[in-house]
Amino acid sequence: MRRVFRDNNLSQSVKDWLSDWATELSQKAGTPGFTLKQFWKDKRKTAKIESVHKLLLDRAKPRNGCMYCLVGEGTDLDHFYPKDDYPAKTFEYENYVLSCTACGRYKGTKFPLDASGKPLLINPLEENPWEHLEFDPTTGCLTTRYLMASSAYSIKGSKTNKWLQTENRQWLTDRYLLSYNDLKDEIEAFLSNPMATSQVLFGELEKADKQDILEWLLLHNGQQEPFCQQMQSQHALVWSELQVLYTDTFLRP
C-alpha cells in the first residue's frame, strides 16, 4: 500500500448527480423488487460513474493499479464502507477506493470497527499505510508494524493484513520482492559508482519501485537494511535529499 491523496476538486455536476442518486436510493430502498446490488450495477455502467473511476485512476498514476495491493489492475470501485451494511455511503465519493477484483473479493464485507465505531482497516486515501505495516524482505510479505509509542502491534495493521493475506498470495509477494531487489540493485550500483546526482538517483529509484517499497526503505524501518545503512554512512547528504524528494513527491497533497 501507499498513501494516495484523493482529488477533491469534484465538479458541481458530479456532486449533484451523486447526491441525486443517493436520494433516489433512499426513496427506492425497501420497495418491492428493489435490490441495492442491481441499483449499483446499473449506475456503475454509466459514463458518470466511470468519470469518478478515472479521477481515482489519475491519483493512482503512474501505475493505475489497485490502491490496496498495488499489483492488480484498478478496475473496480470498492466501497471502503461496504455498501450492503452502509447503503447511505453507496454514492459518497469519499467512500470509493480503487481496487482490483482479487482484493475486492478478499475484502468482501469484512469491516471491523474499534470501540468508538472507527474502521480498523487501512484506507490508503485517508492515511499512510506504512504507519501500520512492515515489509519482510525475506518473504515479500507485508507484516504488522510494532508501534513504539503504544508498545504494541498496530491493530489496524493486523486487521488489514488479515484480509489482504499477502502470505497466501504468492503473485503479490513475488512482485514485492522484485521491487525490493530492483531498488537494492540501484542503491548498490550508486554505492559502487556514486556519480549520479540525488535527483537522477531518485528518478532511477522511482522507475525501479514498481510496488511502492521505496517509502519503507527511505523513511521507515527499511533504513536498517545493510545497503541503506551504507548509504547513510557514506552519502548522508544524498540520503537526506532522497528522503526530501520522496516526501515532496508522494506525501504532500
DSSP 172-212: HHHHHHHHHHHHHHHHHHHHHSTTS-HHHHHHHHHHH-TTS
pLDDT for res 64? 65
Q: Which of 235, 252, 248, 250 is nearest to 201 (CA)?
A: 235
pLDDT for res 110? 84
CA 164, CA 106: separation in Å to the nearest integer?
Answer: 7
pLDDT for res 83? 95
Task: Report DSSP letters for 117-161, one per residue.
Answer: S-B-S--TTTS-GGGTEEE-TTT--EEEPEETTTTEE-HHHHHHH
Q: What's the whole-number mean pLDDT along residues 96-100?
A: 93
pTM of the entire predicted model: 0.91
pLDDT for res 188? 98
Residue 63, pLDDT > 80, answer: no
- Cell numbers 449506475: residue: 43
pLDDT band at 6 (very low <50, low <70, confident <90, very high): confident
Q: What's the whole-number mean pLDDT along residues 7-31?
A: 92
CB 89 within 8 A of CB 81: yes
CA 242, CA 197: separation in Å to the nearest integer?
Answer: 10
Tell me what percent of the residues of the chain surpass a pLDDT of 90.
77
Q: What's the whole-number mean pLDDT along residues 156-167?
A: 90
pLDDT for res 9? 80
For 205-240, how does the pLDDT look when each residue is reduced to its tens digit (9 = 90+)?
999 998 889 999 999 999 999 999 999 999 999 999
Residue 2, pLDDT > 90, answer: no
Q: Which of 220, 149, 150 is nearest to 1 (CA)?
A: 220
Q: What's the whole-number mean pLDDT along residues 121-139?
A: 95
For 163-180, how does the pLDDT look when each residue is reduced to its tens digit (9 = 90+)?
888 888 899 999 999 999
Residue 11, pLDDT > 70, answer: yes
Residue 79, pLDDT > 90, answer: yes
**C-alpha cell, 143:** 507484516
CB 220 within 8 A of CB 2: no
What count of residues does the chain have? 253
> What residue ranges do the domains of the chain occupy?
12-107, 129-168, 172-250
pLDDT for res 65? 83
pLDDT for res 234? 97
Tell me the average pLDDT of the chain. 93
CA 94, CA 6: separation in Å to the nearest integer?
Answer: 8
pLDDT for res 177? 96
